[in-house]
Amino acid sequence: MKVKIFVLSIILLISQQTGNAFGAEAKKNDPGKKVYEERCQICHGAKGDGKGLVGVMKRSEKTGRMINVEARDFTLAVFRFRSTSTGCLPVNEDFISLINKGIPRSFMPSHKDQLSMEEKKALAEYIKTFSTRWKEEEPCKSIPVKKPRWVGSRSSVEKGKKIYKEMKCWECHGDDGKGKGPKSDTIKDDWGKPIVPFDFTTGATKMGDAPENVYTAYTTGLDGTGMPSYEDSLKEDERWHLVSYTLKLMGKVK
């Protein structure tokens, strides 16, 4: 028995020392790798492929339906919550903001106070070692966000309501914003897995529920989810009107 435990701890020690010997290329003693192994690997996996010990989690929806929540596969390098245009890689600040806030409704915890700024930056760099996309492409610039004063006003909410109808947001999100539009039961993500449109009336948006975050979601799109970018199809003002209507559906303005 003692021998067994001894052998096990040796294996554990070796695997801790060598880390993900089969996974990403990273420099020895990379501080990002160390923090990743301690904090992120359990879900995102040693190879960054999202197959950690708890890579798949179950969540029950308000409707009683159970859905799978899967940790992101970093080897694909497709990111949903960015400040950059659709199809682009995110910038470091996007990663740091996610590390600080966590991802509501997806079980990803916040690490705002647990990690130093250096550790957060090192983590952002380490995530990039899982895909060659980071070597092949220049990251795009963040899209500037300037909230007009009228966001949330009654007339802006009305305009947003019209745009919501015209742009067929309801096909996925439903007329009432509860996520039960006609397409909602059949939509899949880019890898063929069922995906649930956001229910505006419950819970927090994943990117954050400040008007600026919602505006960013409409502008950049959530790549890989089927939720499109409206950067080209709607004018800036129109996207802000949509934000007003979203705030209304979320019960944040009258």
Residues that bind ligand HEC (CB under 6 A): 39-40, 42-44, 54, 69, 71-72, 79-82, 95, 98-99, 103, 106-109, 111, 123, 127, 164, 167-169, 171-173, 183, 187, 195, 197-198, 205-207, 214, 217, 222, 225-227, 230, 242, 246
Closer by beta carbon to ligand HEC, 148 or else 209? 209
The least distance separating ligand HEC from the CB of residue 107, rounded to whole angstroms, comes to: 5
Structure tokens at 114: 């647990």
The least distance separating ligand HEC from the CB of residue 10, rounded to whole angstroms, comes to: 27
The least distance separating ligand HEC from the CB of residue 72, rounded to whole angstroms, comes to: 4
For the chain, counts of helices (H) and of strands (E) = 10, 2
Helix (H) or strand (E) segment spanning residue 59: strand 56-60
Sign, Cα dihedral of 125, 129, 135, 138 = negative
Give, in degrees to the nearest 5, the angle at Cα 120 between 118 and 122.
Answer: 70
Closer by beta carbon to ligand HEC, 11 or else 114? 114
Cβ–Cβ < 8 Å for 20, 46: yes
Burial class (CB in 10 A: 0-12, 13-18, 19+), 126: buried
Closer by beta carbon to ligand HEC, 71 or else 88? 71
The least distance separating ligand HEC from the CB of residue 175, rounded to whole angstroms, comes to: 12
Closer by beta carbon to ligand HEC, 6 or else 130? 130
CB neighbour list of residue 220: distance below 8 Å, 6 or more residues apart: 82, 83, 84, 85, 86, 143, 229, 231
How far apart are the C-alpha atoms of 254 and 252, rounded to whole Å?
7
Structure tokens at 69: 């929540």
The least distance separating ligand HEC from the CB of residue 93, rounded to whole angstroms, comes to: 12
Closer by beta carbon to ligand HEC, 46 or else 227? 227
Closer by beta carbon to ligand HEC, 43 or else 157? 43
The least distance separating ligand HEC from the CB of residue 210, rounded to whole angstroms, comes to: 11
